[in-house]
Amino acid sequence: MELLLNVLILGISFVALFKGADVFVDAAANIARHLGISELLISLTLVAVATSLPETGVSVIASFSGETAVSASNIVGSVIFNICVAFGIMILFLSFKANKKVIDRDCVAMLVSYLLLFTAVLFGGINWMWGIIFIVAYGVYLYYLYKDVKQDYEHSKNKGSIIRDLVFLVIGAVVIYLGSKYAVASAVYLARVIGVSEWAIGATVLAVGTSLPEFAVSIGALRKGKLMISLGNVIGSNVFDILVALGLSAIVNPILISFNDIIFDIWFMLISGAAVTLFAIHNRSMHTREGIFFVLLYVGYIIHLLGFI
């Protein structure tokens, strides 16, 4: 009976996730129009921060509890999932053509955040000084976004109340959060029933579970034809996860981990991020072929985590 109940909860949770994402995406697009800025900019900031709250919460709480390795592994796993699965599935179904600003500003910011994490871990971990550097780096990124907001500003053409859209944004975010929470709880229960190890559950279900908001919003935006919200959410979330979530976690409690312990994950993260940038620079267009590449890349990562290779 309990098994069937958890299967039912898992199904309802996924329905809630994607229904909440629909409401969230519509509200975010309306707010962008109210403010007179592009959907890409609103997704790189407001949408990305909102969908990254689960990773941030898990990482900061883990640091308070002294489980600093969980902070790093959760963020790295989530970042890889965002690129390989959320972005990979997005371009499986819809051709993506990168504009110069996305490559020069956002892809570069993502790679810089990856390299900062790589360097910090290479020198023994992320202490409070690295945490401050991460936060400052995110502030610099916001400064460049702010400059572009001023350049892209247009008088609002959206009718209706911005308060109403903000309320729907919050409602959508709450529904996404609850859907993610119960989906993860049910998935963990089902994984234990079929005999998956605790380590494997943490390395896969936790990272994927905290990334469900980004995934749901990106797919929801894709379904509504709002490609820029989908793209901005993925890139913005990855930058925020590393620079802010890990930065705050390190300030709370130094994340002192051995480079050898997560060398595979770090290299995998760098490869996936570099692949997105190189594909975009090469012809600024990504199609089904590249989507299949990223999804298969993630399958290989999971197979490695589970110890099959």
**Separation of alpha carbons 60 and 309, rounded Å:** 32
Domain residue extents for the chain: 2-153+160-305
Q: Which of 101-105, 114-118, 148-152 has the lowest mean pLDDT?
A: 148-152
What is the DSSP track for 220-278?
HHHHTT-HHHHHHHHHHHHHHIIIIIIHHHHHHS-B---GGGSHHHHHHHHHHHHHHHH
221: its two tokens: 């935006």
Q: What is the pTM of this model?
A: 0.80
- In the DSSP assignment, the letter for residue 126 is B
**Separation of alpha carbons 132 and 73, rounded Å:** 20
CATH number of 2-153+160-305: 1.20.1420.30
pLDDT band at 308 (very low <50, low <70, confident <90, very high): low
- In the DSSP assignment, the letter for residue 195 is T
**Separation of alpha carbons 31 and 33, rounded Å:** 5
**Separation of alpha carbons 60 and 191, rounded Å:** 25
173: its two tokens: 């975010």
Q: Mean pLDDT over all residues of the chain?
A: 78
**Separation of alpha carbons 181 and 14, rounded Å:** 10
222: its two tokens: 């894709």
Task: Give the DSSP H or E segment for 159.
Answer: none
Evaluate if residue 118 carries a pLDDT over 70.
Answer: yes
CB 235, CB 106: distance < 8 Å = yes
pLDDT of residue 301: 85
**Separation of alpha carbons 27 and 127, rounded Å:** 38
* Mean pLDDT score, 2-30: 76
Task: Give the DSSP H or E segment for 89.
Answer: helix 88-93
pLDDT of residue 205: 66
Indicate the Cα dihedral angle 89, 46, 107, 113, nearest 10°: -110
Give the E-state strand segments of 50-128 in sequence order: 96-97
Length of the chain: 309
Answer with the residue of higher pLDDT: 154 or 35.
35
CB 232, CB 40: distance < 8 Å = yes
* Phi (first) and psi of residue 285, to 5 degrees: -140, 130
189: its two tokens: 């229960």
pLDDT of residue 58: 66
* Mean pLDDT score, 32-49: 76
